[in-house]
Structure 1
Amino acid sequence: MDLCITIKGVSFLLQSGLGVLGNLSVLMAYAHITYIESYLQPVDRILAHLAFSNMLQLLTRSVPQTVVIFGLHNLLDDSGCKVVMYTHRIHRALSICLTCMLSVFQALTITPSAGPHLTKLKSRLSQLVVPIFVGLWLLNMIVCIALPLYTIAPRNGTVPPFTLNLGFCHVKFPNNQVYVAIGTAFSTRDFAFVAVMLASSGYILVLLHKHSRQVRSIRRTQQGTSMEMRAAKSVIMLVVLYTVFFGIDNMIWIYMLTVAQVPATVVDMRAFFSACYATFSPLLMISTNKKIKERMVCAAGEQLSEDSEKQKF
């Protein structure tokens, strides 16, 4: 096997394995918290949903990509390609939407109540989570509905113009106008959510700065407020992580919109960088979220205790 193909395959394999394991660990931690406490805070529910969407994103893009790189072709037929690509696009879109939702909810959570309307809104945040989830699912299902129409299984021979060769599937657009129109629709949606995400994150940074000045001046703060501020910092790190990989992803995507025949290497590069957030975000959640970390440490301690008991016998 060629060295470049080996490196590419190992890279996608590590990305898929690490990402799926990390997101699955976050989901299991939140499942345990739900079982014990029977309730999740709005931000925790968003993080759990984000981990689920990131895991599905990896399973429907990075995993098939890895399998094809290592030589297993004709993995899916036309129907399978349509289902896999539609699922991937929905969960990729949900990843950015949920990260945006997370930053907005965290900004509202730590905002000082300055009036009855804001106080009422903050008290209803837990009730708004599920309706917003439903709205985001419907929005992205509608926006992505056109993609399965142009998705087919790979055919023998050369790749025609205006076709994205994903390896395990082809996305064949009829002409340049449709190709650019669909790409513009996706980019417009993504940039809109990123703009809201950055605006709310900037507001969180302002509140964090004010909070740090108050702490220095009075040398005391309530425990609940401190926990909210720590959560806000972790949200900021998630937003920064997403923004970095979003920028790389879209620079490649803009280039792809300008050429009729997209090289397979460029498609692979975009697939890798677009999945990096889904891979590294659960690691950031685990390292910065006290609830998740405690569940994982607790599970590890219980496993060590069981092993010690077995060794006694």
Structure 2
Amino acid sequence: MAASDVAVGIIFLAQTVVGALGNFFLLLHYLVHYLMGFTVRHTDFMIQHLIVANLLALLCRGVPQTVAAFGVKDFLSDVGCKLLFYLHRVGRGVSIGSTCLLSVFQAMKISPENSSCSVLKVKAPKYIGFSIYLSWILYLLVNIMIISHMTGKRGNNNITSMKNFEYCSSVPYHRNTDSLYATLLTFPDVLCVGLMLWASSSMVLILHRHKQRMQHVHKNSSPRSSPESRATKNILVLVSTFVSFYTVSCIFQVCMIVIYNPHWLLVKMGAIVAGSFPALSPFLLMSRDSSASRLSVSGIRNRKIPNVRRNL
């Protein structure tokens, strides 16, 4: 085994293990709080679905990539390849949708009362659950087509006519359906990224105007920012990180589609970038004073006064 393969395998292993532990920790945190009767905010509900989507995207790509990097070949059957690629695409899509909903919802929550979003600001919490489940259904349906094109290498002798993914292969698309399939896959993602950029720009503008109006108050008060500002900054960091990794990942994907036989380094770098956000996002959520990183004393305080913090 070459030293480069070992190095790449170690990177995949570290990314998968660290990212999975971070996401499992957050998921366990929310589960314990739910069982103990603590108040769950609307943003916490969206973050829980984001965690599940991150785990799907991370494990379904990171585990087989790690195994393949350490020299194990042809270890997946046709069913295994179809299932792993399908779940990875669904997890990646729901991760995009959940992050988009987080940014849009937070932009509505901090918008002024006299803004055009004042009506949506009141009604938005009622549709959060519906929007999350709709994103799951949407990406479950859109990615069904990938099942018919993925196949395992075990017992497949006609490898030269297929796209090589190390542990799986992809049957070439028909020219007439290629553009339609690409549109179905990319349109929801592009729409979500556009909404994220709009929501992030709105939040930055709202916070800047609020800071200008409250400058005289800040001089005489504690330098600690409000909970809304901290939550908004946390989501801004999350969204900007996601958009950065997503853009780089799209560049790698386009290169692998355009290039008939891409270099092994291009394939592996694309997989590493694709797993970076699911691995990094739980630690971004645990930092910046997010709800998942509070001490249990904060949870007890929420339990005593649930109505005060329910809709923050």
Pairwise TM-score range, normalised by the shorter structure = 0.7 to 0.9
Aligned-partner Cα distance in 1 for 2:139–2:212: 41
Which moves more between the two structures, 124-133 or 62-71? 124-133
Mark the CA change 1:174 to 1:250 in structure 2 (over 3 Å): closer, same or farther.
closer
- Residue 32 of structure 1, CA deviation: 2.2
Q: Does 1:17 align with 2:14?
A: no
- Residue 138 of structure 1, CA deviation: 1.5
Q: Does 1:209 align with 2:202?
A: no
Mapped contact 1:96–1:193 kept (Cα < 8 A): yes
AA aligned to 2:122 is S
Structure 2 unaligned blocks of 5 or more: 299-312
Match of 2:60 in 1: 60
CA RMSD, Structure 1 to Structure 2 (Å): 2.6
Mark the CA change 1:237 to 1:296 in structure 2 (over 3 Å): closer, same or farther.
farther
Match of 1:189 in 2: 188
1:98-247 mapped onto 2 (5 Å cutoff): 98-114=98-114, 118-155=117-154, 159-161=159-161, 163-176=162-175, 178-179=177-178, 181-219=180-218, 226-247=226-247
Which moves more between the two structures, 9-18 or 125-134? 125-134
Mapped contact 1:13–1:63 kept (Cα < 8 A): yes
Mapped contact 1:32–1:295 kept (Cα < 8 A): no
SS at the partner of 1:146?
helix
Aligned-partner Cα distance in 2 for 1:119–1:203: 14
- Residue 190 of structure 1, CA deviation: 1.7
Mark the CA change 1:265 to 1:296 in structure 2 (over 3 Å): closer, same or farther.
farther
Aligned-partner Cα distance in 2 for 1:159–1:221: 68
AA aligned to 2:7 is I
- Residue 101 of structure 1, CA deviation: 0.8
Mapped contact 2:44–2:291 kept (Cα < 8 A): no
- The Cα offsets for residues 47-69 of structure 1, whole Å up to 9 and x where unpaired, read as 11111110111111011110111
SS at the partner of 1:40?
coil
SS at the partner of 1:152?
strand
SS at the partner of 1:98?
helix
Aligned-partner Cα distance in 1 for 2:222–2:40: 21
Match of 1:34 in 2: 34
Match of 1:301 in 2: none
Mapped contact 1:23–1:51 kept (Cα < 8 A): yes
AA aligned to 1:78 is D
Aligned-partner Cα distance in 2 for 1:262–1:272: 16
- Residue 213 of structure 1, CA deviation: 1.3
Aligned-partner Cα distance in 2 for 1:292–1:159: 47
Aligned-partner Cα distance in 2 for 1:152–1:7: 27
- Residue 180 of structure 1, CA deviation: 5.1
Q: TM-score, normalised by structure 1?
A: 0.86
Mapped contact 2:86–2:143 kept (Cα < 8 A): yes
SS at the partner of 2:160?
coil
Mapped contact 2:241–2:277 kept (Cα < 8 A): yes
Mark the CA change 1:8 to 1:175 in structure 2 (over 3 Å): closer, same or farther.
same
Structure 1 unaligned blocks of 5 or more: 299-313
Aligned-partner Cα distance in 2 for 1:17–1:289: 24
Mark the CA change 1:111 to 1:270 in structure 2 (over 3 Å): closer, same or farther.
same
Percent identical across equivalent pairs?
28
* Moved beyond 6 Å, runs of 4+: 220-223
Number of aligned residues: 296
- Residue 296 of structure 1, CA deviation: 8.1
Aligned-partner Cα distance in 2 for 1:149–1:76: 16
Mapped contact 1:94–1:140 kept (Cα < 8 A): yes
SS at the partner of 2:40?
coil
Aligned-partner Cα distance in 2 for 1:211–1:25: 35
Which moves more between the two structures, 231-240 or 25-34? 25-34
Aligned-partner Cα distance in 2 for 1:124–1:245: 32
Aligned-partner Cα distance in 2 for 1:274–1:24: 19
- Residue 128 of structure 1, CA deviation: 1.2
Aligned-partner Cα distance in 2 for 1:253–1:132: 28
